[in-house]
Amino acid sequence: MKDLDDTPTHKLLPENIKQLHAPSKQKIFDAIMEEVIADIYIPYETQAPKKMDLKLLIANQAYQCSASLDNNTAVVPLLINGRQTIIQVPVPRLQDGCSINVNGITIFIQKVKKGQDDLFNYVHNFLQWYFIILQMQDAIHEGDMVRTNVIIKTMIPFFFSHSVLSKYFTECIDFILKTEFTLPPHVAAEVRAASFVNVHGGIGKDKAADMHKENEVKLVKDLIKGLGANKTEKSIIAMSKAAPVINDVTTNFDKMLKLNENMKSTIFRLQRELPCEADDDNNDDDDDDDDDDDNEQSDLED
């Protein structure tokens, strides 16, 4: 796309894409998504680049060429006065630029620096995290022990770039070291398998064990808080044992009444705005008392 108003184009995207059947569209989608994921989700270069763009300054004239790389050395072929000349320059010297004398001619060579595109970098980083989160969610739902380690390794540089003291960065390294190096194979497999829990059963319905435990602790804390002044050791133990049953009963009750958490604030607001029946009765009693007082006052005046 040249601008925001342009239409997306791709060599694999035909013009009659809307008239194709679903299987053909799926093949095109898979091929394009492989390119996107290879460029965004795995941005790290698996091998060293083979070419480098250079800027040359010869007799106050700027030129640009592409040099091949060989053992951290840039090989620049030049044609000067009809003669083929090959220049070899170490790559570190090209970062700031260097001057070389070739056949009495001074040539300044420097690596071409790419422009800084903040919008592209922001969107690129956002999509990287989006794909990582999708992969992590799918791996957890499927209970995939192998893919979980691969995703954790991918997340390590992101947490490290955010903060060297990040606790998530430390936890990722700790989990990888334990499950792949320090623990015996059978214990490492148990640790990986214990990372998931399937409460209700079913394929693709696993969830993270630590998240499930945190939710249970939060539920028990709320119930214990509701005990008020009766927070004895015996009552806390009984409430902790009954917590799952209480949660199932209240969840089923809310489901039958078609209530959700977002409606709680609305209910509280309505209770503040609308008067209760007890308040209406009290108001009626007050009105009756006022009428009796008026009648007594009129009798005294008579």
pTM for this model (two decimals) = 0.58
Sign of CA dihedral 129, 132, 134, 140: negative
Would you tell me how many other CB atoms lie within 10 Å of the CB of residue 52? 17
Residues contacting 244, CB < 8 A, separation 6+: 216
Name the range with the highest mean pLDDT among 37-41, 125-129, 185-189, 251-255.
Answer: 185-189
The boundaries of the domain holding residue 56 are 51-111
| Statement to judge: residues 190 and 245 lie in one domain | no
Report if residue 79 sits inside a domain: yes
Average pLDDT over residues 173-196: 94
More confident residue, 15 or 291: 15
Question: 26 lies in a domain?
Answer: no
Q: 66 and 91 share a domain?
A: yes
**Letter for the amino acid at 273?**
E
| Same-domain pairing of 192 and 128 | yes
The verdict on 130 and 101 lying in the same domain is no
Domain assignment present for 2: no
Question: Domain total for the chain?
Answer: 3
Residues 132 and 201 grouped into a single domain? yes
Q: What is the pLDDT of residue 48?
A: 60
pLDDT value of position 175: 95
Contact 207, 140 (CB under 8 A): yes
pLDDT at 239: 84
